[in-house]
Amino acid sequence: MDLNNPTLDDLKQLYASCKDKNDHHILWICSSGKVHIDRLPANVDPEAFEKEKPNMKVRFKTYHRGKGYVGKTAAADETFMSRMYRTLLEQWSKAQSSPRVQYIEKYF
């Protein structure tokens, strides 16, 4: 998903591509506006993950494995997807002028 030309369907596809039961995941936005959801390896904490991504502008609270925040079920939840879509747009707007990575703990 590209926040310079975003669609709700792109966000749903991104979430649907993840496997909730296998790993923890991190939602983040890079400096170009691309939204990522990456697996968080078991031996890496979120802060170390952030340091490995020098182009990170926004990092959201970790989605813990098995909680239903990613995957096909999450992507099918219209309310959750609409809220995340709005939150991503708002945070991207704020982050563009910030020199630091913005950490978002609450989604709504």
- The CA-atom distances, in angstroms, between 62 and each of 18, 20, 24, 84 are 14, 12, 7, 14
Nearest to 103 by CA among 39, 43, 51: 51
Give pLDDT, residue 107.
65
Write out the residue range of the structural domain in which residue 38 sits: 8-104
Is 38 among the domain residues?
Answer: yes
Q: Check residue 54 and give its pLDDT.
A: 94
pLDDT recorded at residue 51: 93
pLDDT at residue 108, as a whole number? 60
Domain count, the chain: 1
Q: Is residue 2 part of a domain?
A: no
Residues in the chain predicted with pLDDT less than 70, given as ranges, are 107-108
Residue 1 located in a structural domain: no
